[in-house]
Every structure is written in structure tokens, then in C-alpha cells.
Amino acid sequence: MPLTLYDATVPQWLQILGSVDTLLDKAGVLCAEEGISEGRLLETRLADDMLPLGYQFKSCWTHSKLALDGVHAGQFSPDMTPYPTTLDGCRAKIAEAIAACEAADADALEGIAGNPMVFSIKDRFRLDFTVQNFLLSFSLPNFYFHATTAYDILRMKGVEIGKQNFLGQLRLAQA
């Protein structure tokens, strides 16, 4: 059976969004146990020139939910509003992304796979894609980058997580 665009994107988003949701729970435990404010934790960076944890969580939403919205509209511009400053705010973004993925229509996504897709940042920057190439070569890699960076920041802060926490619920063969 051929792999569809839906199969190549939506189940991956759902798997990792589920693990990101669990990471948010573990971040809450860290804050409670260590007396760290959520705002302070969400401002943590791996390096001075990288964006903070709150941005990483928001970007998981951006490169799943907003990417889905964008491909149906034929254009995507990154959301420039501030990232959430609370774990509940981050959880709300992840819940919204999960709901959007769960509501995605496989046939509709397959039907627009070859359509033109424009990524732009105001009038300053533009990249032309097809829907398929936008999702597979831009949004999905960005999604994984931000999910991994969120994991790495929490790991750096001492949250007891391992690879399985990142991988989330695997889609194993049914017996």
C-alpha cells in the first residue's frame, strides 16, 4: 500500500504531540518540586542565541496545527505572537494541535498534495513549495527540531526523561 501524505505527517505529529504533552506534565513536576517558576523555566535556553522553551512548545503547534491550516489556504506565515508564559498556556497550544491533527481529513490532504504552497514572512521573505514538499521538507523537520529542543532543555534542567519519553506511543503491529 502506498504511503499517503496524511500517513507521512499526521500520525507523526500525533505521536510526538502526545510526548510533548507528557513533557509539559514533567515540567510541571519539576517546577513544583524545585520551586522554579513556570515563567522562569519557559525562558530557559540551550544557548544564548537560541529561542527559549516556551517558544519551542509553541513551535510544535505552529508546525503541526498551523501547517495544516496553511496547506489548505495555500500559504503559511509563522505566527509572531508571543509564546505562552505558563505551562497551561503551552498545554492549550498542544491540545489545539492534537485536535487539529485528529480532525484532519486524509482524502482532503491527499487531494491538495501537489498544489502550490507559499511560505512567507511579511513582504521580506518568500519560499515557493508544493503542499507535499512544504510539509515534508519544511514543517515536519521544523516540528521535530522544536520538539527535540524542548526535550533537550528539560533534560538539561534535570527532568528525569529518556528517549522513550520523546518517542511517545509507538504504533506497533497489531497481533
pTM for the whole structure: 0.95
Which domains are assigned to the chain? 5-167 (1.20.120.450)
Query: Rounded to whole angstroms, what are the CA distances from 101 to 37, 52, 133, 136?
Result: 31, 25, 18, 15
Q: What is the DSSP letter of 74?
A: T
Give me the average pLDDT of each 10-residue run along the chain (175 residues): 92 98 97 96 97 98 98 95 97 98 97 97 93 98 98 95 91 87
